[in-house]
Chains A and B, each alone.
Chain A
């Protein structure tokens, strides 16, 4: 039995190790090429590692940072993600608590509307949404969280409502009998219990908002504000001859912070994804 187990382990490792390396290779390749001088980046030499003759140092990175407004975009992306996720986590959990605790036609109608909004593709609303956002002056990075709250509410309310249903209502009733107002009950009793779900929701929504391309492109005034995905697309789409070096450097600059966050938070991220799916 153990003999068989050992053999199985070795076979699995023989399959898994090359597969894992293949999984890492695309990013490794971009990293290598982003460190080369422009003239050394050609399709025929793309698979070569960095060496003495083609090493360009940080030249591409400096170019990407200095001449393409990368830092400003990074700030916008960061600001939008943080404001949106905070708004979604707090306001949607409040909404979901009400919906699952008050049994009325209104709350069940609202619940199904939220679920429905998760399935509808963005193309359905993209044009009218961008016009509405213009009209209400939500077309800048500082107010964009309102749109994200509205469009991200579906998933968040769905996940929170699923979890609230598993909390015994007696705890909340006891708190209210002891004189808590509904707001106090929510923030002092319900919120601490909801924490693990909040982490899941925050992670899923942050992954979406940070990487979202089409919504900010259509809603924001592109001449004034660009988020990171918009910048990369703009970079690629609007030049006749694309400078590959700075292009790959900016890809790496986008990927590196995400990987750093991932390395430190991977336990929560992976758990969050698994929990989010099971609730669904």
Chain B
């Protein structure tokens, strides 16, 4: 079979491969090359070596947005996963209306980042003016917590669904056996459920971590970096380097920042996968 299939291979692979080449491979390689160039369009690039990288790494706004991104990512990953896990535990106790709760908590996932950002901007501004605090445009602390609250509101439901599926996969006889042996609920949670659910935890941490690092739409709509770029995350900083700064130097620097950003995201996600995978147990 393999041989016949191979003969027809182009028919199966080519359409996707052509689109993948146009949509990813070519732009990726071009982007990698352009990060070493000065350019304003792809056509007029001149090679400049590592100067873009030097400029990117000495750009204070880039480093500041990197720090801000890390702060958002850490709190997001912890808050979303703990909340989602707790909800999943609560919704697997056969409480009345489980399905309705699940439906409600999942719903914000279907709404796009831009719309979510504006919904929360309106809501948070109203709350802030009610308590007499400066609005989001002038209030970086509120901007930071706003992003966290928004991300929790959006993603807790999604992770909860994954955790529920994981909890349902923990075999009942294992828990029965532990109960007979006199284990408390707390011990069952830590010694049986959590180790058995490591695959779900791996995925949820991976998703929340990469989502937080790549966050753009919500950041743009909620704060747009205000006040004075204090709430810029990395993706937004790169976007502004490309499209909001005048001068022919900036596109090259933006591309170099994008390469650094990609390397960081790839390394962080593979490190995380390795770290949590190693804690998974054989079922």
Q: A101 at the A/B interface (Cβ < 8 Å)?
A: yes
State which of B4, B24, B221, B255 has its C-beta within 8 Å of the C-beta of A236: B221
Contact between chains at A150 and B162 (CB < 8 Å):
no
B249 to chain A, nearest CB (A): 14
The answer to whether the Cβ of A85 comes within 8 Å of any Cβ in the partner chain is no
Interface presence of B56 (CB below 8 A):
no
Min C-beta distance of A52 to chain B, whole Å = 22
Contact A95 B12 (CB under 8 A): yes
Q: Is B239 within 8 A of A123, CB to CB?
A: yes
Please report the C-alpha to C-alpha distance between residue A266 and residue B269 in the assembled complex, in whole angstroms. 30
Judge whether B31 and A124 touch: CB under 8 Å: yes
Asked if A207 is an interface residue, CB under 8 A from chain B, the answer is: yes
Query: Is A72 positioned at the interface, with any CB of B under 8 Å from its CB?
Result: no
Contact B221 A233 (CB under 8 A): yes
| Chain A hits for B204, CB < 8 A | 277
When the two chains form their complex, are residues A124 and B259 in contact, meaning their CB atoms are under 8 A apart? yes
* Cβ-based interface call for A239 (8 A): no
CA of A261 to CA of B110, assembled, Å: 10
Give A277 to B24 CA distance when docked, in angstroms: 23
A-side interface size class: 35 or more
Number of interface residues of B (CB under 8 A): 96
Q: How would residues 79 to 123 of chain A score, 1 for a CB under 8 Å from any chain B CB and 0 otherwise?
A: 000000001000110110111011110000010011011011111
Query: Quick check: is B15 within 8 A (CB to CB) of the other chain?
Result: yes
Known A91-B15, A259-B110; contact A266-B103, beta-carbon cutoff 8 A = yes
- In chain B between 209 and 228, which residues have their CB closer than 8 angstroms to a CB of chain A? 210, 213-214, 216-217, 220-221
* A135 to B153 CA separation, bound complex (whole angstroms): 40
Taking the complex as formed, is B46 at the interface, i.e. its CB lies under 8 A from any CB of chain A? no
The reply to whether the CB of A167 lies closer than 8 angstroms to some CB of chain B is no
Query: What are 15 A-B interface contacts by the 8 Å CB criterion?
Result: A33-B122, A46-B126, A95-B16, A95-B17, A102-B5, A102-B6, A122-B235, A149-B23, A150-B22, A172-B1, A211-B113, A259-B107, A262-B103, A277-B162, A277-B207
Show the binding face of B for A, using Cβ within 8 Å.
1-2, 4-6, 8-9, 11-13, 15-17, 19-28, 30-31, 34, 41-42, 90-91, 93-97, 100-115, 118-120, 122-123, 125-126, 129-130, 153, 158, 161-162, 164-165, 199-200, 203-204, 206-207, 210, 213-214, 216-217, 220-221, 234-235, 238-239, 242, 251, 254-255, 257-259, 261-262, 265-266, 269-270
